[in-house]
Structure 1
């Protein structure tokens, strides 16, 4: 049975993206500060390297929202957009993108093929599970996709990379959940300069 991991970088005030997301600011204003642990000054720390490797290495399938895939909204039209990551994205596995608009699969270098799913999170999960064949599945975000996965009960563990940043607005990971809706058990705490890596098991 596939184990499903949700991994997201989060601010001290609970945001996973800052306000006003756009092509210029894909993570919202200030959102890139949440990722300094793996793309900035902290990327060479051994704990951060371990966590970054765990996020991608060995994943058999990935699910993400359309907002994470790119800034294009509405019908795709003749947009040439293929994601933020260039010709060889870091996923190296099939990626299932939630969208309301049909799009042909996009096959890129390194084993990444983007499949576009119009039937919701459970349809994406069923496709990911079938292709993963028992291997691990990643819920890559953004916030809406993550909330849908949590609400659907398909997440087994949550990795949060907590940075001492205050964004003051944007997208929160746990918005909309009532008290007691999620039962989490702290499973691991790792520390590096400027970030604490928290792992929670989701208890059903």
Structure 2
């Protein structure tokens, strides 16, 4: 059954890139020279060093390791992708004529553009009706495989807040960046008395990164646990059921 999945690398203090690049989205071709890139490449170092990632990019070398196995597993499971426009704008030139996705990619944007066909099976379709519509189109195109939310963090938060995400994997790099763009926080649409429940599914501890995978159980109300004051135990609320697309 098709699942909507997401994976993101971040620092121990919760940042997935350095500070946001102040340039307009239309001028992101030099993204790697901007303030976001150093933090981003630090937290994704584990992937860049993996043989499976390098092979997918058309590069030689890399390590055959559990990290490489996780990269290979992630690519193999995806039948279609959803990504934000900033990520596309930053990646269009570096990805070249044969991007690593090898599947349909649906780009959430406010700026229409004709479908962009690339070699190797990758196509970019620009969706102006929002993340829900992009996920719907990706489901139809995935051929029974998963829909992978490829980033960036802003889009991942929107998909998570909308209740569209089934599985979340975070790769924790052992570094403190101190500042940058946080993966979680404001933007999830949560109040003071509710949260999004995650069910642990897998933990893989590698030398340079810890891989944590969760099933997204849905929203639930937070309750006061007053057992320490001698009160009766209050049963935690059950996560709300999410409707399928």
Taking structure 2 as the reference length, what is the TM-score of the superposition?
Answer: 0.74
Shift of 1:98: 0.9
Q: Secondary structure at the match of 2:158?
A: helix
Q: Can you give the 5+ residue segments of structure 1 that lack an aligned partner in the other structure?
A: 72-80
Shift of 1:82: 3.3
Task: Give, in whole Å, the separation in 2 of the partners of 1:100 and 1:59.
Answer: 25
**Which residue, 44, 48, 68 being the options, matches 1:39?**
48
Q: Which has the higher contact order (CA 8 A, sep 6+)?
A: 1
Task: After the TM superposition, list the runs of 4 or more consecutive aligned residues in structure 1 that deviate by more than 2 angstroms.
Answer: 25-30, 40-43, 81-84, 177-181
Taking structure 1 as the reference length, what is the TM-score of the superposition?
Answer: 0.88
CA change 1:83–1:57 in 2 (3 A) is: farther
Q: Does 1:186 align with 2:196?
A: no
Cross-structure match for 2:83: 64
Give the structure with the larger helix fraction. Answer: 2
| Residue pair 1:63, 1:97 contacting (<8 A) in 2 also | yes
Q: Does 1:168 align with 2:178?
A: yes
Q: Which residues in structure 2 correspond to 1:108-187 (within 5 Å)?
A: 108-176=118-186, 177=188, 178=190, 180-187=194-201
Cross-structure match for 1:75: none
* CA radius of gyration, larger in: 2
Cross-structure match for 1:199: 213
Q: How many residues align?
A: 195
Shift of 1:12: 0.5
Cross-structure match for 2:2: 2
Residues 87-135 of structure 1: per-residue CA shift (max 9 Å, x gap): 1111110000111010011111110001111110001011111111322
Q: Secondary structure at the match of 1:169?
A: coil
Cross-structure match for 1:82: 92
Shift of 1:26: 7.9
Cross-structure match for 1:77: none
Task: Give, in whole Å, the separation in 1 of the partners of 2:129 and 2:145.
Answer: 23
Cross-structure match for 2:225: none
| Residue pair 1:69, 1:84 contacting (<8 A) in 2 also | no
Q: Can you give the 5+ residue segments of structure 2 that lack an aligned partner in the other structure?
A: 22-27, 52-61, 219-245
Give the superposed CA RMSD. 2.0
* Deviating more after overlay: 24-33 vs 56-65: 24-33
Q: Secondary structure at the match of 1:166?
A: coil
| Residue pair 1:82, 1:106 contacting (<8 A) in 2 also | no
